[in-house]
Amino acid sequence: MVAINAFPEDFPSEHDAIRQIAASVGVRSAVCTHFVDGGRGAVELAEAIVEAADEPSEFRLLYESGLSLRQKVETIALQVYGADGVDFSPPAARQLDIYERAGFGSLPVCIAKTHLSISSDPKLKGAPSGWRLPVREARANVGAGFVYLVSGDMRTMPGLSSSPAAQRIDIDGEGNIVGLY
């Protein structure tokens, strides 16, 4: 599925060209105007996804949920990223052990790593080989239903709501801080 994020300054011919390329390789496409029209602008995409989901598929999960968290990470590292293996730091290994003992071993895993390379090293371009995925930390997002691993120098930050509290913090005319909880 190709979601064409349309903007008001786009030309319909640009959307048509993208649709033609997608169709030529057997891929669906939908024009989305959700930046301007909100949810109404994503209806075409939603309908196309529902239609695609109803078709027969050869889809299979990359790993079985019964694998250990370490085995799931290793499967992703070897089969998706092309790594030669995974190196778990002692803190990450302890965290994974804690999550397994707490009953979270069946959760899927997600890996936070640089977007600049298929490896964990932003300087390695293309499809590098001969590298190992360093995992320095493991975090459980139990409410969201997954465990994620932090690799290399990757830094994470919390997501902000559409109205972060910082926007309501100010100083009033008398010098008092207002808007803090």
In this structure, what DSSP letter does residue 125 have? -
Looking at residue 162, its pLDDT comes to 65
From the options 2.60.40.3670, 3.40.50.720, 3.30.1700.10, 3.10.410.10, give the CATH code of 69-151: 3.10.410.10
Q: 56-60, 62-66, 89-93: which has the highest mean pLDDT?
A: 89-93
Amino acid (one-letter) located at 85: G
Report the range of poorest mean pLDDT among 2-11, 58-67, 100-109, 158-167. Answer: 158-167
Cα separation, 121 vs 4, whole angstroms: 30
Looking at residue 42, its pLDDT comes to 93
Q: Which helix (H) or strand (E) holds 2?
A: strand 2-5
pLDDT averaged over every residue in the chain: 90
Looking at residue 116, its pLDDT comes to 87
Which of the pair, 119 or 164, is modelled with greater confidence?
119
Q: Where are the domains of the chain?
A: 2-53, 69-151
CB 67 within 8 A of CB 108: no
For the chain, give percent helix, strand, coil, nearest 5.
35, 20, 45
For residue 66, give both structure tokens.
Answer: 């019964």
Looking at residue 152, its pLDDT comes to 82
Mean local confidence (pLDDT), 95-116: 94
User: What is the tens place of the pLDDT at every residue in 19-62?
Assistant: 999 999 999 999 999 888 888 999 999 999 999 999 898 888 89
Q: How far is CA 5 from its chain centroid? A: 18
Looking at residue 181, its pLDDT comes to 62
pTM as predicted: 0.65
In this structure, what DSSP letter does residue 165 have? G
User: What is the tens place of the pLDDT at every residue in 135-180?
Assistant: 999 999 998 999 999 998 877 776 656 677 778 888 889 988 888 7
For residue 118, give both structure tokens.
Answer: 């298929």
Q: Which helix (H) or strand (E) holds 137?
A: strand 132-141
Within 10 A of 45 (CB to CB), how many other CB atoms are there? 21
Looking at residue 167, its pLDDT comes to 80
Instruction: Give the three-state DSSP class for 76.
Output: helix
